[in-house]
Amino acid sequence: MYNRYMNKRRSAFTLIELLVVIAIIAVLIGLLVPAVQKVREAANRMTCSNNLKQYGLALLNYESTNSVLPPGSLAGSAAVGSTSWGDAQLFGTAVFILPYIEQDAIYKQLLISRDLNAKTAPFYSLNPDWSMGWSKIKALSCPSDEVAGASQTTNGPILFGIDFTTAAPDSIAAASWGTGGVAYDLGKTNYCTVAGALGNNVTTADANSGPGASLQKYVGIYTCRSRTRTSDILDGSSNTLAVGEGLGGIVQSGVQRDYFWAWMHVGAMPTKFGLLGGGGPTPTSANNTGAAVGGWQYFGSRHSGIIQFGFGDGSVRGLRPGSSGVRNPTTAGSDWYVYQAMAGMRDGDVYSSAQLSN
């Protein structure tokens, strides 16, 4: 007898089949999402590397036009009659390379003098300089970091390692842009030039680094009102750090970073503190007491395990933090020493770049 149920088609999955399909989809998503994230980070890292490459080439192009590399900053200096570090233009290196990174439109509107031999009013005291400082420049931010989209207070550190007698020369300072609780959303950056261990004219002992550390030995290419030429880089431009990436600060109370770098204001950063571990703004380096440290005066990145740097010849390489945050000058050849030797332009130290290079 004909069975009318034999040729009847099922109209839906059974519950077990549906659960199996959902499980398979979940497994595929679990496999694909990390892969997509890795691909995205690889692309971001490449873009960041290209940004540093263009920054480094802009520094060299500036030298081709002006016969010297741009200064690390136009902070205050006794040599030009300043009475404090803030008694000057307060421009950082990025201002000088604007025409070489396709930002000539901003550069031409600036009225504050870029004269290395004279001090004038700070950039925030006059428009359009102050207004131009709010400009968002994509080429000056790392796509792995959220700094470009952050609308929080921008703080601009300037290297303070200059020749004042009224303050310790081996120190640095930061200025907070904001009044009455209102945040100033100045244009942010992840990049700034390298000042060496602590800039130039470091005349006092650095207690935080312990006895025997001559920070003046490791003066970098870019310092306050510097006029360095490539020919002055006696250690070799391909061996000397020129520009690196940083996060600008650390997260406080899980809310926001305490500082950001402002591209118009941030001066060359020192290296004496070591490198922050890659991957986030939470510090992972340690000082010579083993305590965790971090802040706006560090080079660091969102890239897992590395911080990218442009060298004096325009090349770009990633450095591993290693134990560079452990400042122990009594241990020759330590990661800290290698990092300082990389930052110094005429220290004469011989080091293996493989010790920190990624």
Per-residue pLDDT, 59: 98
In-domain check, residue 297? yes
Q: Which residue has the higher pLDDT, 326 or 68?
A: 68
What's the whole-number mean pLDDT along residues 76-89? Answer: 83
What's the whole-number mean pLDDT along residues 335-357? Answer: 88
What's the whole-number mean pLDDT along residues 346-350? Answer: 89
Grade residue 26 by pLDDT with cuts at 50, 70 and 90: confident
In-domain check, residue 20? no
310, 249, 257, 312: which is closest to 276 by C-alpha? 249
Per-residue pLDDT, 302: 87
What is the DSSP-derived secondary structure letter of residue 111? Answer: -
Distance between CA 71 and CA 237 in Å, rounded? 16
In-domain check, residue 11? no
> How many folded domains does the chain comprise?
1
Distance between CA 39 and CA 124 in Å, rounded? 41
In-domain check, residue 220? yes
In-domain check, residue 23? no
Q: Which residues pair with 126 in a beta bridge?
A: none
pLDDT above 60: residue 211:
no
What's the whole-number mean pLDDT along residues 327-351? Answer: 87
Give how far Cα 67 sits from Cα of 29, 85, 209, 226, Å: 56, 26, 35, 13
Q: What tokens appear for 233 in the block?
A: 């880089």
pLDDT above 90: residue 284:
no
Distance between CA 15 and CA 175 in Å, rounded? 63
pLDDT above 90: residue 36:
no
Q: Which residue has the higher pLDDT, 297 or 127?
A: 127
Share of the chain above pLDDT 90, in %: 39
Per-residue pLDDT, 55: 97
Per-residue pLDDT, 112: 93
Per-residue pLDDT, 252: 59
Q: Helices in the chain by DSSP H: which ranges?
A: 15-66, 93-97, 104-107, 129-132, 335-343
Select, from the ranges 150-154, 244-248, 288-292, the one with the highest average predicted confidence (pLDDT): 244-248
Per-residue pLDDT, 286: 41
The parent domain of residue 279 ranges over 30-355
Q: Which residue has the higher pLDDT, 26 or 288?
A: 26
pTM score of the predicted model: 0.84
Per-residue pLDDT, 291: 42
pLDDT above 70: residue 351:
yes
Q: Angle at CA 223, nearest 5°, toward 333 and 102?
A: 110
Per-residue pLDDT, 285: 42
pLDDT above 50: residue 179:
yes
Grade residue 41 by pLDDT with cuts at 50, 70 and 90: confident
Per-residue pLDDT, 159: 62
Q: What is the mean pLDDT of the chain?
A: 81
pLDDT above 70: residue 140:
yes
What's the whole-number mean pLDDT along residues 146-165? Answer: 61
In-domain check, residue 19? no
Q: Which residue has the higher pLDDT, 63 or 324?
A: 63
pLDDT above 80: residue 330:
no
Per-residue pLDDT, 171: 57
Grade residue 63 by pLDDT with cuts at 50, 70 and 90: very high
In-domain check, residue 112? yes
Q: Which residue has the higher pLDDT, 212 or 356?
A: 356
In-domain check, residue 7? no
pLDDT above 60: residue 304:
yes
